[in-house]
Homo-oligomer: A and B are copies of this chain.
Amino acid sequence: MKCYLTCSFAGFISLDENCTLLDYELFPRDKLKERFAKITAGIVTREEELILKRLVKKCDTIVIETNTPHSRYKNLKESIKFKYETPNMAGEFLRSNMEDLLKKTDFLKSDDDLTKIIHDLSIEITNDRLRKASESEDMFLIQAINSIDELDETTGKMVERLREWYSIHFPELDKIKNHERFVEIVADLGDRDSIIDSGVLDPDKDSVRTDKSIGAPISEIDLLILKEFASSIKSLQVTKRSITEYIDERMGEIAPNLKDLTGASLGAKLIAHVGSLERLSKMASGTVQVLGAEKALFRHLKTGERPPKHGLIFQHPEVRGAKWWIRGKVARTLALKISLAVRTDVYSGEYDPSIRESFEKRIEEIKKSNPFPKKST
């Protein structure tokens, strides 16, 4: 006899070739979510093993509808009888007659509401998936913000090399202190004469001497490789810009309030530092204030040195730009608002401009009421 096995959120159902119910093995009613997660992950559940064990006794061929890799059925008894077909007849029949069939299997009692069961189960499943997704969202963000540090370091080293290398030919160009501009000029224009002829150098601003260079002449082949090296630095700079934009966009989705308050980059660094937005939301604002200053904090605890006033949040313009006598206050205020913003991001997800506005207002007050340093007592 040939039979067909299909699966639903309720469990496994087997039909014969006439679509008559042959056998079934339901999931425990309180384990629907867990079982569904397993079959989604491609795991052969206990229920599937049980029904297959019974079916191989009755049938010559069992046509299984499944998303599970076929290799995972190999170790089951008489697996030689298994065929795989997705979708198969039983699945099609089940999905066309779900309510009837589930009633026949006693999964649905007479007063059960199938729609409600599916509705509630789906919400549970979706919430689980959302939790996992927001973890991976955080992880993508964290990798991106970390890659920026590496790109900066990398590009910095390579630009130094390029400057040294290029100076053999045209040392005067090293006066251009802006890395991006230096790289672009070398990558796009190449040799000294081309650069001078192009007119990109501003005689007033750049103060690059162009009349007589003390550099060596350069051959085509030396120039080509230098230009290629410069171009690859340029492409790193472009990638850095793309990743920065990506972080900006992602932060707007994941943590719009944190982004509004701190900017995308600092916000992402805070998340990266603690590992996830959720973890950040559970931290006391005092901790947030010194995130990234762990060493100084440790020294404080151990040797009684002054505690740090700020860690990563020093990068915020309001903290960095604050007069020294109010910097501690500003940092404390910012940390408080960060905690608020992050909690809003995690629990409601709604953007609320009042968080940043109230921070700005508070800073104004601090500035106004502390125009001068207090005399030390």
Chain A positions near chain B (C-beta within 8 angstroms) = 41-42, 68-69, 71-72, 132-133, 135-136, 139-140, 143-144, 146-147, 150-151, 153-154, 157-158, 161, 164-165, 168-169, 211-212, 216-218, 221-222, 225, 228-229, 231-232, 235-236, 238-239, 242-243, 246, 249-250
Known: A42-B211, A225-B243, A239-B229. A147 touches B161 (CB 8 A): yes
Residues of chain B within 8 A (CB-CB) of A151 are 158
Which chain B residue lies CB-closest to A143? B165
Contacts of A136 in B (CB 8 A): 168-169, 216-217
Q: Tell me if A242 and B222 are in contact (CB < 8 A).
A: no
9 smallest beta-carbon distances between A and B, as pairs: A136-B216, A69-B211, A143-B165, A42-B212, A232-B239, A154-B154, A225-B246, A139-B168, A140-B222
Q: What copy number does this chain have within its complex? A: 2
Contact of A140 among B71, B144, B168, B246 (CB under 8 A): B168
Nearest B residue to A238 by beta-carbon distance?
B232
Q: What would 4 more interface pairs be, CB under 8 Å, given A228-B239, A232-B235, A232-B238?
A: A72-B211, A136-B168, A136-B216, A140-B222
Residues of B within 8 A of A42 (CB): 211-212
Q: How far is the CA of A242 from the CA of B135 in the complex (A)?
A: 41
Residues of B contacting A147 in the complex (Cβ-Cβ under 8 angstroms): 158, 161, 165, 229
* A–B Cβ pairs within 8 angstroms, 28 of them: A41-B212, A42-B212, A71-B211, A72-B211, A132-B216, A133-B217, A135-B216, A136-B168, A139-B168, A139-B216, A140-B165, A140-B168, A140-B218, A143-B164, A143-B168, A144-B225, A146-B161, A147-B158, A147-B161, A150-B157, A150-B161, A154-B154, A221-B246, A221-B250, A228-B242, A229-B239, A232-B235, A235-B235
